[in-house]
């Protein structure tokens, strides 16, 4: 049995494919290339492949048709329909395995980093130092009248201590839009900050949210009551454009907005207007409606926005986690057992 692995994969998991499942494995990870495989090269590679493990390669109907021996597709993502034609795979009775929640811990960690960075101006202060705004001639002792040295940047109206002052988290309300795997991990990490949690998710009941000390509310209520709103939903027909002009208008002028999900979930122009006008105090964004974000985009000119290049899920442990999840399910399927995560369950029959 031959396997082609184009996803970034853990060496231990590759060894399991070779040694325990007796596969001939060709490993061509995307991290060792400039990007996705060219379509003609991908077509050639899949010709005699039985098991295909992908990360971001597009597995179209034509790719599936060319892979005459293909019996199994595994995708190292939480949403395999983003790059795999699930319908075409199903027509061929090819199960599509995937790895939901593989980066939930990573994204949750990143979310709290962004919340703190936005509220306490950590990233902006870093930028100001590196661009020379608050550098200068050091003073050995900036205090006077006391019994010890006390070196500071100064306390006047133009000092960083005054200009970059931000609010504490304790006592604030954090609204989590989407209480799936990521949202629940965000809620877990909230406990040490002394915040109150609100959650909006039509698919999660109030009792389940209460297990994470989160009050289930409707979206409008969450937006109106939250000091921080953080979004963790997938892009679907019901979530595309979920937050637009009317929704952002509901947020307080002192509120912060965090998006580590997908740019398509919000109306980015509506958010930009609120940030420029003072309708909300700040934001932290890891995703955009165009990626990479254009170098002349107005979001990059705003001091009250933390911008990162789609990094929330990019923790080192994620590769090991999705590799283990996929190989466990591949092993189960080959042994005649039911895999844990399969996108087209009808193929299992």
Contact 34, 55 (CB under 8 A): no
User: For residue 333, which of 2, 51, 13 has the smallest C-alpha distance?
Assistant: 51
Question: From the candidates 225, 262, 281, 341, which is the catalytic residue?
Answer: 262
Residue 132 burial (C-beta neighbours within 10 Å; 0-12, 13-18, 19+): exposed
* Contact between residue 195 and residue 169 where contact means Cβ atoms under 8 Å apart: yes
Catalytic residue check, 291: yes
Q: Is 262 a catalytic residue?
A: yes
Coil/strand/helix, residue 292 = coil
Q: Work out whether strand 214-216 and strand 96-97 pair parallel, antiparallel, or are unpaired.
A: unpaired
Helix, strand, or coil (residue 14): helix
Catalytic residue among 297, 310, 320, 331: 310
Active site residue 163: no
Query: If you ran DSSP here, which 8-state letter would residue 38 be given?
Result: P
Q: 47 is written with which tokens?
A: 């010709």
Kindly report the length of the chain: 349
Q: Could you say which of 39, 168, 291, 345 is catalytic?
A: 291
Beta-strand ranges (E) seen in 39-141 are: 51-54, 72-75, 96-97
H/E stretch holding 306: strand 305-307
Measured CA to CA, the distance from residue 174 to residue 228 in angstroms comes to 5
Kindly state the tokens that stand for 50. 């039985």
Q: How far is CA 314 from CA 160, 201, 318, in A?
A: 31, 25, 7
Instruction: List, by residue number, the catalytic residues.
Output: 262, 291, 310
């Amino acid at each position: 049995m031959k396997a082609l692995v184009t996803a970034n994969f853990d060496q231990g998991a590759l060894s399991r494919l070779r040694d325990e499942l007796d596969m001939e494995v060709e490993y061509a990870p995307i991290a060792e290339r400039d990007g996705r495989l060219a379509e003609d090269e991908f077509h050639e590679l899949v010709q005699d492949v039985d098991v295909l493990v992908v990360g971001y390669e597009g597995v179209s109907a034509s790719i599936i048709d060319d892979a005459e021996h293909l019996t199994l597709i595994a995708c190292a993502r939480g949403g395999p329909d983003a790059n795999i034609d699930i319908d075409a795979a199903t027509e061929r009775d090819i199960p599509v395995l995937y790895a939901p929640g593989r980066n939930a811990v990573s994204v949750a960690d990143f979310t709290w980093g962004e919340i703190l960075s936005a509220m306490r101006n950590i990233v902006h202060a870093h930028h100001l130092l590196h661009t020379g705004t608050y550098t200068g001639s050091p003073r050995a002792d900036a205090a006077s009248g006391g019994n010890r040295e006390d070196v500071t940047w100064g306390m006047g109206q133009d000092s960083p201590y005054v200009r970059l002052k931000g609010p504490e988290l304790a006592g604030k309300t954090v609204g989590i839009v989407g209480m799936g795997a990521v949202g629940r991990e965000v809620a877990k990490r909230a406990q040490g900050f002394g915040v109150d949690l609100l959650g909006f998710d039509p698919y999660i009941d109030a009792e389940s949210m209460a297990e994470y000390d989160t009050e289930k509310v409707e979206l409008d209520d969450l937006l109106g009551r939250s000091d921080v709103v953080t979004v963790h939903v997938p892009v679907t027909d019901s979530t595309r454009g979920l937050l637009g002009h009317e929704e952002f208008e509901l947020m307080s002028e002192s509120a912060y907005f965090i998006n580590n999900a997908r740019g398509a979930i919000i109306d980015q122009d509506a958010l930009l207007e609120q940030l420029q006008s003072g309708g909300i105090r700040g934001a932290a964004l890891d995703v955009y409606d165009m990626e990479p974000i254009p170098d002349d985009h107005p979001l990059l000119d705003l001091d009250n926005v933390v911008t990162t290049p789609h990094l929330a899920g990019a923790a080192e442990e994620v590769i090991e986690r999705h590799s283990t999840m996929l190989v466990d399910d591949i092993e189960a399927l080959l042994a005649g057992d039911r895999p844990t995560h399969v996108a087209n369950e009808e193929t299992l029959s």
